[in-house]
């Protein structure tokens, strides 16, 4: 049985900026009947080049906002915020299911034929203990090349996916991975799927890219079902509201280009 959409509980989603829209898109495909609230913390991005304590504090505030709007499933659509905050958020709000994202090393190692895998992510993600622990699990099974990409999320955040700056950064960060001969590359930041075609062109057609938006969306559906006991009617699409701590016009323009469903855009209160 499905719940009527009008009364369906909402799902909260957030990222340092617009990158988490790649995850929002996947959640919308798998859970069209659920109202979605998305916070782009663009006024405080990039998280990947901030101290972990700062990212934790921002994540806590945003989670409180989403919960105040009724969300009891909150998706941290940001690798950097997941490593900095998910443990504390779970402790602070045990009545809420938090779904995090992490670089897809497991599928990448399984897909690789040569055993040489690359990971592109923010500096904050790669140097975190949580990621280092994940890496330790797979180090025996594959040669893993880590490539931090400072500046890339910020450049994507400007909304022009084909700008000379975005192209130059993708080339720069792809080149060591190409030289290392990797055949699989993990997109370990939710901003990067928006420039997947540029990475593909820079790395070559033989390299497979791994993005975790779909498994994260599946996990969101599982948590929704556990939390609310039923899924909303997929035949009745529910509203999607975006909030930003940055520029509303920029988010409106990016959403119109990158998303194929209608949204409202407003300032993040507070
Ligand atoms: N999209 C975020 C991630 O997945 C990071 C963006 C940023 O550095 O602000 O890590």
Distance 150 CA to ligand 1 centre (A): 10
- 47 alpha carbon – ligand 1 mean position (Å): 6
Share of the chain above pLDDT 90, in %: 96
Q: Do 87 and 219 fall within a single domain?
A: yes
> Are 201 and 249 part of one and the same domain?
no
Tell whether 120 and 155 lie within a shared domain: yes
Specify whether 171 is located in the same domain as 94.
no
Nearest CA to ligand 1 atom 2: 78
Domain that holds residue 224: 10-101+213-267
Question: Can you tell me which atom of ligand 1 is nearest the CA of 16?
Answer: 9
The sign of the dihedral angle between the CA atoms of 194, 185, 210, 216 is: negative
Please tell me the distance between residue 78's alpha carbon and the centre of ligand 1 in angstroms.
Answer: 5
Q: Whose CA is nearest to atom 8 of ligand 1?
A: 48
- Of 112, 120, 176, 100, residue with least CA distance to 138: 112
115 and 199 together in one domain = yes
CB atoms < 10 A from the CB of 202, how many?
Answer: 19
pTM, rounded to two decimals: 0.95
Cα(4) to centroid(ligand 1), Å? 34
As a whole number of angstroms, the distance between CA 269 and CA 99 comes to 23
Q: What is the CATH number of the domain that holds 174?
A: 3.40.50.1860
Q: Look at the chain and report how many structural domains it folds into.
A: 2
Residue of the CA atom closest to atom 9 of ligand 1: 46
> Ligand 1 centre and the CA of 238: distance in Å?
27
Q: Are 17 and 242 in contact (CB under 8 A)?
A: no
Q: Which atom of ligand 1 has the smallest separation from the CA of 17?
A: 9
The arithmetic mean of pLDDT across residues 151-162, rounded, is: 94
**pLDDT, position 1:** 42
Residue to substitute in 38, 39, 43, 189 for testing ligand 1 pocket (most ligand atoms within 8 angstroms of CB): 189
29, 117: one domain: no
91 and 140 fall within a common domain: no
Residue 22 covered by a domain: yes
pLDDT at 4 over 60: no
Annotated catalytic residues are 78, 189
Ligand 1 — pocket residues by CB below 6 A?
Answer: 15-17, 19, 45-48, 78-80, 122, 125, 153, 189-191
User: What pLDDT shows up at residue 151?
Assistant: 96
Residues 31 and 52 in one domain: yes
Reply yes or no on whether the pLDDT at 7 is more than 60. Answer: no
Name the residue among 125, 122, 118 with its Cα closest to residue 142.
Answer: 118
Helices 79-92 & 52-68 angle (0-180, nearest 10): 60
Q: How confident is the model at residue 270 (pLDDT cuts 50, 70, 90)?
A: confident
The per-residue pLDDT for range 198-249, each reduced to its tens digit, is 999 999 999 999 999 999 999 999 999 999 999 999 999 999 999 999 999 9
């Amino acid at each position: 049985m499905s719940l009527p959409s009008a009364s369906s509980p909402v799902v909260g989603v957030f990222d340092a900026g617009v990158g988490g829209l790649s995850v929002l898109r996947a959640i919308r495909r798998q859970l069209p009947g659920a109202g979605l609230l998305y916070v782009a913390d663009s006024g405080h991005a990039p998280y990947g080049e901030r101290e972990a304590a700062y990212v934790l504090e921002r994540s806590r505030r945003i989670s409180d906002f989403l919960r105040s709007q009724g969300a009891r499933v909150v998706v941290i659509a940001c690798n950097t915020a997941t490593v900095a905050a998910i443990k504390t958020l779970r402790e602070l709000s045990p009545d809420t299911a938090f779904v995090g994202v992490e670089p897809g090393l497991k599928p990448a190692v399984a897909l690789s034929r040569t055993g040489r895998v690359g990971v592109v992510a923010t500096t904050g993600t790669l140097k975190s203990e949580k990621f280092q622990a994940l890496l330790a699990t797979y180090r025996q099974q594959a040669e893993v090349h880590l490539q931090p990409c400072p500046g890339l999320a910020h450049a994507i955040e400007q909304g022009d996916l084909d700008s000379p700056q975005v192209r130059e950064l993708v080339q720069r960060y792809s080149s060591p991975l190409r030289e290392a001969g990797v055949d699989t590359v993990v997109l370990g930041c939710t901003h990067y799927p928006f420039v997947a075609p540029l990475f593909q062109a820079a790395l070559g057609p033989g390299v497979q890219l791994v993005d975790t938006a779909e498994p994260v969306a599946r996990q969101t559906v599982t948590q929704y079902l556990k939390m609310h006991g039923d899924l909303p009617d997929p035949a009745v699409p529910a509203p999607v509201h975006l909030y930003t701590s940055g520029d509303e016009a920029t988010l409106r323009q990016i959403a119109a280009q990158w998303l194929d469903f209608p949204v409202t855009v407003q300032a993040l209160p507070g």
